[in-house]
Chain A
Amino acid sequence: MFLYNLRIALLSLRRNSVLSMVIVGGIALGIAVATLFSTMRHVLAKDPVPDKSRALHYVRLDNWDPLKPYPGDDPTRPPTQITYQDMVSLMRSDIPVRQSGMFKANLYVFPDPKVGRPTKQMTRLCFADFFPMFEVPFRYGGPWDRHADQGPEPVVVLSEELNDTVFGGANSVGRMLRIEDREFKVVGVLDRWRPPVKFYDVTQFAVQAPEAMYVPFNFVRPMKIQTVGNRDGWKSAPAPGLEGLLASESCWIQMWVELPTREKVEAYKSFVDAYVIEQKKTGRFPRPLNNRVTPMMAWLKEQRVVPNEINALTVVSLLFLAVCSLNLMGLLLGKFLARAPEIGVRRALGARRRDVFVQHVIECEVVGVIGGLLGILLSLAGLAWMNGWAKTLLTRDDFFRLDLPMALFAIFLSLLAGLVAGLYPAWRVCRVPPAMHLKLQ
């Protein structure tokens, strides 16, 4: 009977093609807008490392000014990054399974002159654990080992794009690349890695693409590398230059740890608190003890990776879909009631009220699905336009993608919209007394 009702629905759509197009168009418009904004929100809110995000924690210490809290919406929150000296101390802990302090810098790369001119490339200085901790995919080679962190050894991991530019996309593992004033050996080339948000560093612009190069953190001192990320401070450095910065209370390093069990989380928190209490004896950390070891998703939420504006737009777009559905209710009601004589015939021939109801609900759902598919196509066009905008602003053109869960969500919305629009008209038409319209047929 379902297939029969489906056929009847399609015949009905064909019969009133103009009206059907208006109804389908209304649903399509609502679905397109709702899918567009829901996808934007979904992209930003998606768990970037779903397998292990619960184990990943962001570390903060409150070394801020005793007279005023760290600026922001919430005065109880500590600074979003930590100092170099604290990072070095925390990295000595053996509680985390993996850990890495990190920051970004802009370094000159000198490719073979035949290939191109020197260019500045965004570079992440980090520890070896960065790669397995965030499940960074490799095309060639792999990350450097922890031993290389200590030297530090001149090793580098390249992004797929930079490897394409500098080495023509070949397996460049083992080849040398000059970065600033020294030669680095390529140990790994990333596979295409495009997390929706740059979740490991959301202190600036969370939707940027990942960096082009990764070098061991400890080159910060020998190469005198300065951060190009945020640097927050409340106290003058004890000395000028890089050495002063490294010894200062300036916060410019992001610190991540992998703590797979609750016990490890508690142990690490205790370790951090103990460290700060110890530091207080030297006159540092003048504010009350306020350290945070925050799970990844909570940290991303706290940093409003999904801006309130996107949340609001998503709600408004869903309300717009609801308004579209409610408007279509009137059109469907008129369409169905105009068919009352046919309903009378069907009832005379033995159709029960629920047969008539189901027939019309299926017709509404057919309208919803056709409108939904059209709406998805429209939203894909909208997303393509948004990606054009993102390419200019974020230097990436794959930011907004309609993945399978969102496509299924759009289909679900379509069915829901069809149901909202058609439930009342279907109920009304199944209540039509069968005798009333038989003479009119």
Chain B
Amino acid sequence: MLEMKSIAKVYRTDLIETHALSEFSLHVGAGEFVAIMGPSGSGKTTFLNVAGLLDTFERGTYVLDGQDVSPLSDDQMSRIRNQKIGFIFQSFNLIPDLDAFDNVDVPLRYRGLPGAERRTRVERSLELVGLGSRARHLPSQLSGGQQQRVAIARVLAGDPRLILADEPTGNLDSLMTREIMDLLEKINEQGATIVMVTHSPECAARAQRQVHLLDGRVVDFEAAPRLAGREMARLAPSVG
């Protein structure tokens, strides 16, 4: 489903170059549920942006669902984002002026689906996340967990092959976290590939595989606890 080889991503300013991803390689098979972990600044978000075709990269190859994305135009990448990728963000990223129904409807609008089909998909998705009765509520009228469920319904309505989740439970309490993780597991069981960035070991434990990043690279799984310890030691003085 997702094949990255030797990806490099550099952020440049007048003074410095930041290598956000360096020789980054990752394979995610179809139907997998992968958790991406790593300390702040390790390149998790950059990886998600590149994987989601929201950002470009300098070197390497990226094949998504059998298609090399390097030569794609901006319009073509938009189409892939719309049809093959679903995003779940830590801060939900719902459009505040639109109610739950219309938020879920957004990607379907850009897909150009007829009105009746859009309505069916939106209603079914909201029912699946348990918010069928809140369809006309604005985001401000919903709790954090409900907002995240609307965001998940938005993904479900688009029926993507790949779901990229960036700290999907980062802003939720433990009860809501469990609900959202249950939902993601259910979606994964139905065949969707999920790549989830998280800081939470509990959430990561529910994925089939964990991938650890450090300094823009995938590091050995066995080395992860050691690296994590080193990171803790690095942070300790400032914490203390």
Point out which of B75, B110, B154 has the most chain A C-beta atoms below 10 A from its C-beta: B110
Given contacts A349-B154, A350-B107, contact A438 B93 (CB under 8 A): yes
Count A-B contacts at CB 8 Å: 76
Find out whether the CB atom of B111 lies under 8 angstroms from the CB atom of A348.
no
Chain B, residues 55-97, CB within 8 Å of chain A (1/0): the string is: 1000000000000000000110011011100010101111111
Q: How far is the CA of A12 from the CA of B82 in the complex (A)?
A: 24
Interface residue from A342, A344, A349, A433 paired with B82 (Cβ < 8 Å): A349
Nearest CB on B from A406, distance (A): 36
Q: How far is the CA of A346 from the CA of B78 in the complex (A)?
A: 10
What count of chain B residues pass the 8 Å CB interface test? 29
Given contacts A434-B54, A435-B54, A438-B54, contact A350 B111 (CB under 8 A): yes
Find out whether the CB atom of B54 lies under 8 angstroms from the CB atom of A350.
no
Asked if A392 is at the interface of the complex by the 8 Å CB criterion, the answer is no
Nearest CB on B from A354, distance (A): 8
Main secondary structure of the interface of B (DSSP, over half): helix
Find out whether the CB atom of A439 lies under 8 angstroms from the CB atom of B91.
yes
Q: How far is the CA of A129 from the CA of B89 in the complex (A)?
A: 83
Nearest CB on A from B6, distance (A): 21
Asked if B49 is at the interface of the complex by the 8 Å CB criterion, the answer is yes
Q: How far is the CA of A418 from the CA of B233 in the complex (A)?
A: 58
Find out whether the CB atom of A348 lies under 8 angstroms from the CB atom of B87.
yes
Chain A, residues 349-376, CB within 8 Å of chain B (1/0): the string is: 1111111000000000000000000000
Find out whether the CB atom of B97 lies under 8 angstroms from the CB atom of A348.
no
Given contacts A438-B93, A439-B45, contact A350 B87 (CB under 8 A): no
Interface residue from B81, B109, B154 paired with A1 (Cβ < 8 Å): B109
Find out whether the CB atom of B89 lies under 8 angstroms from the CB atom of A441.
yes
Given contacts A342-B95, A435-B55, contact A349 B107 (CB under 8 A): yes
Nearest CB on A from B93, distance (A): 4
Identify which of residues 401-441 in chain A touch chain B, using a CB-to-CB cut-off of 8 Å: 433-435, 438-439, 441
Chain B, residues 33-59, CB within 8 Å of chain A (1/0): the string is: 000000000000100010010110000
Find out whether the CB atom of B106 lies under 8 angstroms from the CB atom of A349.
yes
Can you name the residue of chain A whose Cβ is closest to the Cβ of B84? A350
Q: How far is the CA of A341 from the CA of B94 in the complex (A)?
A: 10
Can you name the residue of chain B whose Cβ is closest to the Cβ of A433? B55
Find out whether the CB atom of A347 lies under 8 angstroms from the CB atom of B93.
no
Identify which of residues 109-134 in chain B touch chain A, using a CB-to-CB cut-off of 8 Å: 109-111
Can you name the residue of chain A whose Cβ is closest to the Cβ of B154? A349
Point out which of B87, B95, B96 has the most chain A C-beta atoms below 10 A from its C-beta: B95
Asked if A393 is at the interface of the complex by the 8 Å CB criterion, the answer is no
| New contact pairs (7) apart from A435-B55, A439-B45, CB-CB < 8 Å | A342-B95, A347-B54, A347-B81, A350-B78, A350-B82, A353-B75, A354-B75
Instruction: List residues of chain A with CB under 8 Å of any chain B CB.
Output: 1, 4, 8, 11-12, 14-15, 341-342, 344-355, 433-435, 438-439, 441
Instruction: List residues of chain B with CB under 8 Å of any chain A CB.
Output: 45, 49, 52, 54-55, 74-75, 78-79, 81-83, 87, 89, 91-98, 106-107, 109-111, 154, 158
